[in-house]
Amino acid sequence: MISEPSAFSLSAEELATFHRRGYIGPFTLYEPDEIAEKWGRTRLELLDRRDAVYRDDTAISNTTNISNYDRHLDHPFLAEHITRPQIVDRVASILGPDVLCWRTEFFPKHPGDEGTDWHQADTFANASGTPQIQWPNGSDFGGTITVWCALSEATVDMGCLQFIPGTHRTMFYDETKRMHYLPERNSSVLKDGVKRGFFGYDYRELQVDPDWKPDESQAISMEMRAGQFIVFWSTLMHASHPHTGKSREMRMGYAARYVPTPVEIYPGTSVIEEYGGTVSLERYGAVLVSGEDTYGHNRLATHTTRGVPFKNRSAAEATEARR
């Protein structure tokens, strides 16, 4: 059966652009008013951690708090967000029809915060020391598709993302090397006059060539309105500007990460250990947002911890077609 392209699939031209640059977008998902209302409500509701899959007491609180990973597994707005066709159809255009969402993370930047340092992630052993995703043997390419949504406005002054287009096929960092978690030293370091950090790590420790520097003359700034998202390979060189503090509003990014079903998630481990904390994967599951999983490598979460079923793009389409 040949399935028709769905409403939000990438066109052949968009796909070619994506493969050339390593990113595509921004696309509008929510109108600014709509996301201001939805995020305003959600951020307060997230303080209630009763149904969160990771326990507060096992993770040390930090800028990037791993106990706030995967809140799509408990919060209904985030659960719906990761399954929205505007996102899922575009990700499936890149990864194929069978897609898992394996991780979500918040990236807050408060007024005065440093910019996120330049980095790439392939296996996501970068901070944890062990690969968090494993593509099948023989794959010449790894990484994940990240869908980064601006929950609030993201301008240059407020710390929007930066990309170096076309860098997604070469790893300049070696994730088998180790970084040292030193939040008091690495949270904010001046690099070429720009305040940068990697949440308590110094990403330069992973450089393949210690004398190399990212070619920032090629960097572009990805300003986004609240409610827009961008799709990029985690292996693309990316960073963010510091939040200058000119605006008193924080910027908040929400990153949802996707892989195809043959990929093994958290292979051989029952914990996530990074940013000075450890959480148990006991209640973790990946979410099948599109198609089916014939591999069975990964434990799947079919419902949120509050019992709401996750939408699956193919199932939703099938329902639509029966009407």
Ligand X SMILES: O=C(O)CCC(=O)C(=O)O
Contact letters for ligand X, residues 247-286 (x by CB under 6 A): ------x-x-------------------------------
Instruction: Please give the residues from 56 up to 75 whose contact with ligand X meets the rule CB under 6 A.
Output: none
| C-alpha dist (Å) from residue 227 to 33, 151, 241, 242, 319 | 9, 6, 19, 20, 27
Window contacting ligand X (CB under 6 A); options: 3-11, 78-86, 233-241, 260-268 = 233-241
* Distance of alpha carbon 70 from alpha carbon 67, whole angstroms: 8
Which H helix or E strand runs over 80?
Answer: helix 76-81
**Strand 115-116 versus strand 194-197 pairing type:** parallel
In whole angstroms, the minimum distance from the beta carbon of 64 to ligand X comes to 9
Residue type, position 182, single letter: L
Contact letters for ligand X, residues 132-161 (x by CB under 6 A): --------------x-x------------x
85 binds ligand X (CB under 6 A): no
200 binds ligand X (CB under 6 A): no
187 binds ligand X (CB under 6 A): no
| C-alpha dist (Å) from residue 33 to 152, 309, 313, 317 | 10, 27, 26, 28
Window contacting ligand X (CB under 6 A); options: 200-208, 232-240, 289-297, 312-320 = 232-240
173 binds ligand X (CB under 6 A): no
CB 119 within 8 A of CB 201: no
Instruction: Please give the residues from 22 up to 41 whose contact with ligand X meets the rule CB under 6 A.
Output: none
In whole angstroms, the minimum distance from the beta carbon of 321 to ligand X comes to 34
Select the residue interacting with ligand X from 30, 107, 172, 233 (CB under 6 A): 107
Helices (H) and strands (E) in the chain, counts: 7, 16
